């Protein structure tokens, strides 16, 4: 009997299709559509694909957001990972790095809004985006443990709990500001977030 199964796509073909779908989706979002409003047909047409081909690579519409979320998270992580508590710039350097993240997200506000929108009702997207944030939590814990070991932050600080509060709180503050806040206040917001992370974690005083 002759098989009717399609051969598996090559990695090169998959990468090409994925890049086209990401670009198409981001373009449609930048035109003012919400992700919920978009249809697979619209995405396929914008990407120059047959809808059936799009479904081969993305069986559910929400899965289109996963590589987009990864790229967004990776870009922000690279910015933050470029700074270190050992940097002599200290609080000022952290504020500058967070300001760069805010500006990075602002340029991609339509993407961030889509991720937050769909995370509210789709478990797969929510868990995927939370996994992206886990990279920041791991980095924060690494920083806090190093600073504790060097005696520069409180010995009674719990690195995991502090990192959860710092990262999730900062993410919510940045997302809210980027989607609804005044761009002229980007530096003010960045400084306040940095100060909370600096004095609340990296340079917390010992309690009596």
- The DSSP code sequence of the chain is ----PPPPPPHHHHHHHHHHHHHHHHHHHHTT--TTT--HHHHHHHHT--HHHHHHH-SSGGGGHHHHHHHHHHHHHHHHHT--TTSTTHHHHHHHHHHHHHHHHHHTHHHHHHHHHHHTT-HHHHHHHHHHHHHHHHHHHHHHHHHHHTTSS-TT--HHHHHHHHHHHHHHHHHHHHHHS-GGGHHHHHHHHHHHHIIIIITPPPP-
The CATH number linked to 131 is 1.10.357.10
Q: Is residue 207 part of a domain?
A: no
User: Both 190 and 92 in a single domain?
Assistant: yes
Q: What is the pLDDT along the chain (208 residues), one digit of tens a residue?
A: 444 444 456 788 888 999 999 999 999 999 999 999 999 999 999 999 999 999 999 999 999 999 999 999 999 999 999 999 999 999 999 999 999 999 999 999 999 999 999 999 999 999 999 999 999 999 999 999 999 999 999 999 999 999 999 999 999 999 999 999 999 999 999 999 999 999 999 999 876 4
pTM: 0.88
User: Both 31 and 80 in a single domain?
Assistant: no
Non-local CB neighbours of 89 within 8 Å, separated by 6+ positions: 83, 96
User: Both 54 and 153 in a single domain?
Assistant: no
Q: Is residue 15 part of a domain?
A: yes
User: Both 105 and 83 in a single domain?
Assistant: yes
Q: Is residue 96 part of a domain?
A: yes
Q: Is residue 101 part of a domain?
A: yes
User: Both 72 and 52 in a single domain?
Assistant: no
């Amino acid at each position: 009997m002759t098989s009717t199964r399609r051969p598996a796509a090559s990695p090169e073909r998959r990468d090409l299709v994925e890049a086209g779908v990401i670009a198409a989706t981001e373009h449609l979002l930048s035109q003012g559509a919400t992700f919920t409003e978009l249809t697979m047909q619209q995405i396929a047409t914008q990407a120059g694909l047959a809808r059936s081909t799009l479904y081969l690579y993305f069986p559910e519409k929400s899965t289109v957001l996963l590589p987009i979320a990864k790229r967004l998270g990776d870009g922000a992580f690279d910015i933050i990972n470029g700074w270190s508590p050992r940097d002599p710039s200290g609080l000022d350097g952290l504020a500058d790095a967070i300001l760069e993240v805010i500006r990075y997200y602002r340029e991609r506000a339509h993407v961030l809004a889509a991720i937050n929108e769909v995370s509210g009702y789709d478990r797969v997207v929510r868990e995927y985006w939370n996994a992206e944030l886990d990279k920041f939590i791991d980095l924060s814990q690494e920083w806090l443990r190093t600073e504790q070991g060097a005696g520069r932050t409180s010995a009674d600080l719990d690195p995991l709990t502090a990192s959860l509060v710092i990262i999730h709180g900062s993410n919510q503050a940045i997302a809210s500001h980027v989607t609804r806040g005044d761009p002229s206040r980007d530096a003010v917001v960045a400084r306040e977030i940095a100060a909370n992370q600096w004095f609340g974690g990296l340079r917390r005083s010992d309690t009596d």
